[in-house]
Structure 1
Amino acid sequence: MPVTNEEIATRSVAASASYYSTFDKGHLAFPPAKKYISNAGASDKDALLSIVISQQLLATEAIVIVKHTGCGGMLTCKNEDAHGVVERNLGAEARKELEERKLDFLPFPQLKQAIQDDVEFLRGTKLMKNEVPLSGWAYDVETGKTVRVV
């Protein structure tokens, strides 16, 4: 059974009350020492605006890209497949909008190559400071091991 807006609001209010009743982090420095940007496929192209904001406004000193194994949608599908799923679930007009907006699901068939490509993309953009340390990592969801790729 689908969740209603009212149920979401009720849960959110309760969770917020529980959180702020014991909140003791208001003294922490701004900007925060660590920032975390998460998106589908861990795509730096999709997260570029957030990365620029983090670096320029929040003084980010290093960037670590982490993708994970078992990322089913991104590792196994192509844009056409994803567009087909959207059309099946939301109809032809939704697919048409995807195409009009030129939305790219940014699939990647090879995990390590995708990490290398993302690091290369960030190193090549003029929107990043050149001196910022940048690395790419792969997290194995079955073993818990993280391995540096770049």
Structure 2
Amino acid sequence: MPMPEQHDAFADVLAANQEYAAEFDLGHLVPGAARGLAIVTCMDSRIEPLDMLGLTPGDAKIIRNAGARVTEDVLRTLALATHLLGVERIMVVAHTNCKMASATRDQVIDIVEQASGIDVRSLDFRLVSDQHETLEVDVQKIRSWPFFPPGIAVGGFVYDVATGRVERVT
């Protein structure tokens, strides 16, 4: 049975969009990545991918998920970006103080179940036990995936949420 619509649940963001649209000036941008860059990073709100790398809208393709993990869907999206949108280099950017790198599977399950009562034991949260090792594995997934053009540049990085600095790891 579908849930009833919650019209006012989004009223604040729709109102803000009206103001944004009134001054919108990005319609001239082309779909490609002007700087040939794709960034895979975490969904953490403390990360502002464009600002932290001196980029502007249109410069890069940004893919976000919990923990900045390179999943099959990320690989599919990157393949499209490299073949259709001018991406020639890929940054995988994890960050300090990431919940996916600091919580155990049991802790995450307990938090979700206590908050919602929903049994989430069947989900793979792709938690990270060693951030640097995970970055190396995820970067290698990209480098070895056969659907990218030859010579694609790939690097693994960690963003420090306390200082704003990005460190190359791999």
2:82 corresponds in structure 1 to: 55
Correspondence 1:129-148 to 2 at 5 A? 129-148=149-168
Is the 8 Å Cα contact of residues 33 and 86 (structure 2) preserved in structure 1? no
Q: 2-side partners of 1:87 and 1:49: how far apart?
A: 31
- The yes-or-no answer on 1:20 pairing with 2:47 is no
Decide which moves more: 43-52 or 130-139.
43-52
The Cα shift of 1:5 comes to 3.1
- The yes-or-no answer on 1:124 pairing with 2:144 is yes
2:96 corresponds in structure 1 to: 69
Is the 8 Å Cα contact of residues 139 and 145 (structure 1) preserved in structure 2? yes
2:106 partner amino acid: E
The Cα shift of 1:31 comes to 2.2
Deviations 1:62-118 (A, max 9, x none): 1011110010x21122333323333333335x32xx51xxx3111112222221111
Identity percentage of aligned residues: 31
- Higher relative contact order (Cα pairs below 8 Å, separated by 6+ residues): 1
Q: 1:106 to 1:142 in 2, by over 3 A?
A: same
Q: 1:120 to 1:90 in 2, by over 3 A?
A: same
Q: TM-score, normalised by structure 1?
A: 0.80
Matched residue count: 140
The Cα shift of 1:16 comes to 1.5
1:13 partner amino acid: L
Deviations 1:26-68 (A, max 9, x none): 1122324211111110001262232223223323111011110
RMSD of aligned C-alpha atoms?
A: 2.1
Match of 1:82 among 108, 127, 150: 108
2:25 partner amino acid: D
- Structure (1/2) with the larger strand percentage: 2
Q: TM-score, normalised by structure 2?
A: 0.71
Q: 1-side partners of 2:69 and 2:144: how far apart?
A: 15
**Unmatched tracts of structure 1, length 5 or more:** none
1:8 partner amino acid: A
Is the 8 Å Cα contact of residues 137 and 148 (structure 1) preserved in structure 2? yes
1:35 partner amino acid: K
